């Protein structure tokens, strides 16, 4: 197989279609003893998925909320509320409490910002077992060994470059779907909400493409810069903005590298982050934290 023919792991498309079905409300019939939980705290959507041990989606829920900007939790109480509501909604469907989960961060987020993501989960009673950068989470679904996974979300364009199955570089820049929405709102004289709604309808994409082309080309130039200096034979576009029909040829033309979009690109990262959740690690983390608290208490300090 030549590099240009490489594609995502067989079965990834099926998993993503199952992820879309798992968003439908209603209780589930059977739940395995062990589940994995992923939370993607995004600029536009916060998404939660529960999967079985093998990564098959069981239940998911999402909500559009402005609690994260440029990868930073700027509204902690809002984020807490949103994650708490999604947790409750999914718990009702799976019939048991969600006690642990992995969470996403954009690549290149600093330590203190990444702690905020962890604390959002912990503040609603979810032990945070892993903090994973978005494109790396996405690749848990796609299983790319060589190429670039580019996550174009609401606020940022993040990239992970893979070589022989290892992530060799990550980067993130603040341009994404909300910039497309702003351009559409301005050009068509619409409110932001109306522009957002119309943009998400694929029936409008052909008409809207000339208006948003310069913004998509800007994203293309960001990706070009991000891959400069690396040998990248293929680009895999994920994140909600990758659902804009016509984006792949523009990114290909700008970068000179073929680009592909998997089915339901919005679900790739939130589904993938669940793969990093492990109940065993939650138990170890809790043990370590409790041990630290006991140690501090015995020394007369405050935890
Ligand atoms: N069908 C669609 N067509 C075009 N754009 C879409 C579609 N569905 C969602 N989007 C856009 O995708 C963006 C949300 O994608 P996603 O959920 O991946 O971002 P996020 O994770 O919230 O943000 P970030 O990763 O930047 O923090 C929004 O800007 C939304 O308008
Ligand atoms: Mg995202």
Structure confidence by residue, pLDDT tens digits, 256-286: 999 999 999 999 999 999 999 986 555 555 5
- The reply to whether 291 falls in a domain is no
For residues 96 and 223, the model is more confident at: 223
- The reply to whether 3 falls in a domain is no
Of 19, 153, 198, which is best to mutate to test ligand 1, by the most ligand atoms within 8 angstroms of its C-beta? 153
Instruction: Report residue 249 as tokens.
Output: 């040829």
How many residues comprise the chain? 303
- Residue with the smallest CA separation from ligand 1 atom 21 is 42
For residues 165 and 184, the model is more confident at: 184
pLDDT tens digit string along 99-128? Answer: 999 999 988 776 677 888 999 999 999 999
- The reply to whether 294 falls in a domain is no
- The reply to whether 20 falls in a domain is yes
Structural domains in the chain (count)? 1
Domain limits for position 162: 11-281
Q: How many angstroms separate the CA atoms of 3 and 1, rounded?
A: 7
- The reply to whether 302 falls in a domain is no
- The reply to whether 99 falls in a domain is yes
Instruction: Report residue 285 as tokens.
Output: 């983390």
Residue 269 CA, ligand 2 centroid: distance in Å: 7
CATH number of the domain at 79, please: 3.30.420.40
- The reply to whether 250 falls in a domain is yes
CB 293 within 8 A of CB 111: no
Atom of ligand 1 nearest to the CA of 153: 19
Look at residue 105 in the predicted model and tell me its pLDDT.
92
What b/e string do you get for 113-150 counting C-beta neighbours within 10 Å, with b at 16 or more?
bbbbbbebbeebebbbbbbbbbbbbbbbbbebebbbbb
Q: Measuring from each residue's beta carbon to the nearest atom of ligand 1, which residues come in under 6 Å?
A: 40, 42-45, 68, 134, 151, 153-156, 176-178, 181, 196, 199-200, 202, 239-241, 243-244, 266
């Amino acid at each position: 197989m030549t590099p240009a023919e490489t594609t995502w792991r067989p079965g990834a498309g099926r998993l993503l279609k199952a992820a879309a079905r798992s968003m439908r409300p209603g209780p589930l019939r059977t739940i395995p003893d062990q589940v994995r939980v992923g939370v993607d705290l995004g600029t536009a959507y916060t998404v939660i998925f529960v999967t079985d041990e093998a990564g098959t989606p069981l239940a998911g829920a999402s909500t559009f909320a402005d609690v994260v900007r440029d990868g930073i939790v700027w509204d902690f109480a809002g984020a807490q509320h949103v994650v708490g509501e999604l947790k409750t909604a999914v718990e009702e469907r799976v019939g048991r409490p969600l006690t642990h989960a992995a969470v996403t961060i954009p690549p290149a987020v600093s330590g203190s910002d990444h702690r905020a993501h962890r604390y959002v989960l912990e503040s609603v009673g979810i032990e945070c077992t892993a903090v994973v950068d978005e494109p790396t989470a996405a690749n848990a679904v796609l299983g790319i060994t060589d190429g670039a996974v580019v996550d174009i979300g609401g606020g940022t364009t993040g990239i992970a470059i893979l070589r022989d199955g290892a992530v060799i570089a990550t980067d993130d820049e603040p341009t994404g779907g909300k910039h497309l929405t702003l351009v559409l709102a301005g050009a068509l004289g619409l409110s932001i909400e109306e522009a957002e709604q119309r943009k998400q309808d694929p029936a409008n994409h052909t008409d809207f493409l000339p208006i948003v082309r310069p913004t998509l080309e800007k994203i293309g130039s960001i990706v070009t810069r991000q891959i400069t200096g690396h040998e990248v034979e293929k680009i895999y576009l994920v994140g909600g903005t990758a659902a804009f029909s016509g984006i792949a040829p523009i990114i290909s033309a700008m970068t000179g590298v073929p680009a592909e979009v998997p089915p339901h690109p919005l679900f790739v990262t939130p589904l993938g982050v669940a793969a990093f959740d492990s109940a065993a690690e939650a138990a170890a983390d809790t043990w370590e934290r409790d041990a630290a608290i006991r140690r501090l208490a015995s020394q007369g300090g405050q935890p």
